[in-house]
Amino acid sequence: MTLTLILMRHAKSSWEEPALADHDRPLNKRGKRAAKALGAWLRGQMHQPDQAIVSTAIRTRDTYDRLGLTLEADFSPELYNANSAEMQMVLEMASGNTVLMIGHNPGISAFANEMAAQAHSHARFHDFPTGGTVVMRFDIATWDQVEPGTGQVLDFVLPREFPE
């Protein structure tokens, strides 16, 4: 059996209100467009999650909402500023066959790089700019069997590279 992981860094956030706590920053205009484009890309590539686990931060929630998925998300405080080990613990509790996780850097890029059997050739795979999304397949039956270095990278995209 195979399971699929879609790891996504939230889209571009706004810094217009410096008094806002980091957790409360929304998406900026570019981020809103990018999240919508990522949703269209996921549907176009047939990467349809059956479970979504999303950080509780406003910008990750906004990113998820703009993807246009009909699936109800699980909002996880553990994903807010999670490191790679914490992200793996959250994933090990997942139950979907195709799981979407939306989080933050530096954890999301570290987790993607640790889970991949071989890094994607894209120059930005290692640092995961905002909206960066990777799709990996694992030859496992349940997520509690997931191990670093075993994910086959199927796709990696950045929304800024989509045509307008």
Domains in the chain with CATH codes: 3-161 (3.40.50.1240)
Could you tell me whether strands 152-157 and 133-138 are parallel, antiparallel, or unpaired per DSSP bridges? antiparallel
The 10s digit of each residue's pLDDT in 14-62 is 888 888 888 989 999 999 999 999 999 999 999 999 999 999 999 999 9
More confident residue, 122 or 148: 148
What confidence tier does 126 reach under pLDDT thresholds 50, 70, 90? confident
- What gap in Å lies between CA 135 and CA 154, rounded to an integer? 5
What confidence tier does 120 reach under pLDDT thresholds 50, 70, 90? confident
- Mean pLDDT calculated for residue range 98-122: 94
pLDDT at 123 (0 to 100)? 83
Cβ burial 144-162 (10 Å sphere, 16+ → b, else e):
eebeeeebebeebbbbeee
Write phi, then psi, for 25 (nearest 5 degrees).
-75, 130
- In which region does residue 41 sit, left (phi positive, over 0), alpha (psi from -120 to 50) or beta (all else)? alpha
